[in-house]
Structure 1
Amino acid sequence: MSDIEFGNNSIRERLYNNAFELKIAPSLQCLIDRIIFLITDSNSSINDIYKVLNQDPGLSARILSIANSAYYNRGYPLYDLHQALVNIGLEEAKNIILCLILMDGIKGRLKFKDLFRFWRHSVFVATSAKILAEKTLDENPQLAYMGALLHDIGRIVFYSEIIDYEVLIKDLTTTHKKERFMAEKELFGIDHQEIGYIIAKKWGLPEGITSIIKNHHNSENGKGKTLLKIIRMSDMFFYCRETNGDPEKLILINEEENINLELKKNMEVLNIITYAK
């Protein structure tokens, strides 16, 4: 990789082009609209999800691998997809399927340390956002989880394209107290919100999700401002546990043990999601 001339058009174009090249499997692309509808539909059932997953052998195999893992196994091997979904549970299955779709797009692009960092942050924020949506009754909890899990998808391109991305960003975010997206703009001419928006549009994600990805650092922009605020507060809570008088942060502090338990489970399952065929 050639040396980076910070802020110039060359690196911006390279990041832009990389975002367009980020693909998911064609079989998943054909099913993604239906899968996302079922994930966010509170009336969807195990049978509905089974019928869609059964059309993709690769995705079905990974669900079976996870169902047979230590966290979900009931003491006997599972070979049937429907029973695997029953054992995992409807809401948990929805979360796992979303994670599998995301992982399909990023697998093999990142070093494990970057993948671990990205995954840990995304799952923490997603779990926090889902809890806030459940507690405040303002938004669909599954939509909050989905939007939060995908909110930083643009970072994938920076990790894969920029050597020492975190090191370069850290100087501006810690020493000069700039937010990450502002530091990215200054260094590379584009930020992870813009890059993420390109990916979201290419993958055909719903407008509500693309708006979150494009605007999550400014809850005053985009549609669904309440949902944006929930994700923004969850994102901030990852970095700072002080409430500063925010009722949302107080809720999350009271739920921190549950958030960390869910995070631990997801990080343990990371290897299965990453390497299962």
Structure 2
Amino acid sequence: MHDTGGLSTTSASLPSLPYVSHEILLALNEPEVDIARVAETVNRDPALTARLISMANSAFFRGKQPAYSVAEAMMRLGMNRVRMMAVSIVLAQQLDTSRCPAFEPAIYWYNAMACSHAAGQIGRYVPIETGAEAAHLCGLMHSIGELLLVHTFPGDMQQILCALHEDPTQEPALLERRQLGFDRYTAGAMLLREWELPAVISDTIQTLAEPDQVDAAWSLQRLLRGSMNWVAADFDELPLQLEDPDYLPEGLVIRLRDDCQKEQAMLRGLASLLGH
């Protein structure tokens, strides 16, 4: 078992976020997105620019003419997809998962992006103080701690992920706490605080480690946990957190389910591209 000091913010094991990447994350997640500013900021990262333009020209989005610029890519992909893809690419650049063969990047990125999409869509209709943008970002970041643990403790995570493959009914966070002394949610919250993302994001993800905890972030936590469980159920069975008709009326649930299911094939394709 590892001491939690192994992931302290003073430890070299906690990856730093380059200045340009930090600026990109902030620009993408402002409530009022300035497309020109986002394009200018993204252009400062050549690798990210190339990946976004490549994805805009993929089979899912290809138009009559190729996209050659970030601005064209943003128009073709749509702002929410650009948010998802840009943040995901930035995260993948910082966290190396190659030393843990049991980790499956395409599955990880699909779950993160599908949760982000679902949380952002639900966040447009339910009463949360932070708005849909925070729900969208929370969904994408909810399991970033898994990436951090795979990056930092590849051998331990190889054992944990192999155990999960043998028995998928086990709770990943519980196995992580037994082996490492902390779980993906605690680790993820610590990393996001170090990276100076909005506190409500890290605080909400931290509460996932203690699902019975009720605090100021509870409304966002309810939405996030409901989105996670809905993705896990492939958008068929409505999770407990979303069942209340006063929270999500039946007609709205049907529309949201249809939207999320229509987005699935595209998200799986993008996740596969991210996984390479």
Q: Give the TM-score, by structure 2 length.
A: 0.78
- State the alpha-carbon separation in 2 of the partners of residues 76 and 260 from structure 1: 28
Structure 2 residue ranges without an equivalent (≥5):
none
Out of 49, 53, 56, the residue aligned to residue 64 of structure 1 is: 53
Range with bigger deviation, 231-240 or 249-258: 249-258
1:103-142 correspondence runs (5 A) = 103-109=92-98, 110-111=100-101, 114-138=104-128, 139-142=130-133
Range with bigger deviation, 55-64 or 216-225: 216-225
| Distance of aligned partners of 1:155 and 1:77 in 2 relative to their CA distance in 1, 3 Å threshold | same
Structure 1 residue ranges without an equivalent (≥5):
1-7
Q: CA offsets, 1:99-131, max 9 Å, x none?
A: 222222335435485212322222222122112
Shift of 1:58: 1.8
- State the alpha-carbon separation in 2 of the partners of residues 32 and 253 from structure 1: 37
Out of 222, 228, 245, the residue aligned to residue 229 of structure 1 is: 222
Partner of 1:211: 203
Q: Would you say the 8 A contact 2:102–2:161 is kept in 1?
A: no
Count of residues in correspondence between the two structures: 260
Q: Would you say the 8 A contact 2:57–2:66 is kept in 1?
A: yes
Partner of 1:21: 13
Q: CA offsets, 1:204-230, max 9 Å, x none?
A: 322122112211242635543211111
Shift of 1:246: 3.3
1:136 match: secondary structure:
coil
* Structural RMSD (CA): 3.1
- State the alpha-carbon separation in 1 of the partners of residues 255 and 212 from structure 2: 24
1:196 pairs with 2:193: no
1:24-173 correspondence runs (5 A) = 29-109=18-98, 110-111=100-101, 114-138=104-128, 139-159=130-150, 160-162=154-156, 163-169=158-164
- State the alpha-carbon separation in 2 of the partners of residues 227 and 266 from structure 1: 23
1:260 pairs with 2:255: no
- State the alpha-carbon separation in 1 of the partners of residues 106 and 87 from structure 2: 17
**Higher RCO structure (Cα 8 Å, ≥6 apart):** 1
Q: Would you say the 8 A contact 1:216–1:228 is kept in 2?
A: yes
* Larger relative helix fraction: 1
Q: Give the TM-score, by structure 1 length.
A: 0.78
1:246 match: secondary structure:
coil
| Distance of aligned partners of 1:14 and 1:22 in 2 relative to their CA distance in 1, 3 Å threshold | closer
Q: Would you say the 8 A contact 2:39–2:71 is kept in 1?
A: yes
| Distance of aligned partners of 1:58 and 1:222 in 2 relative to their CA distance in 1, 3 Å threshold | farther
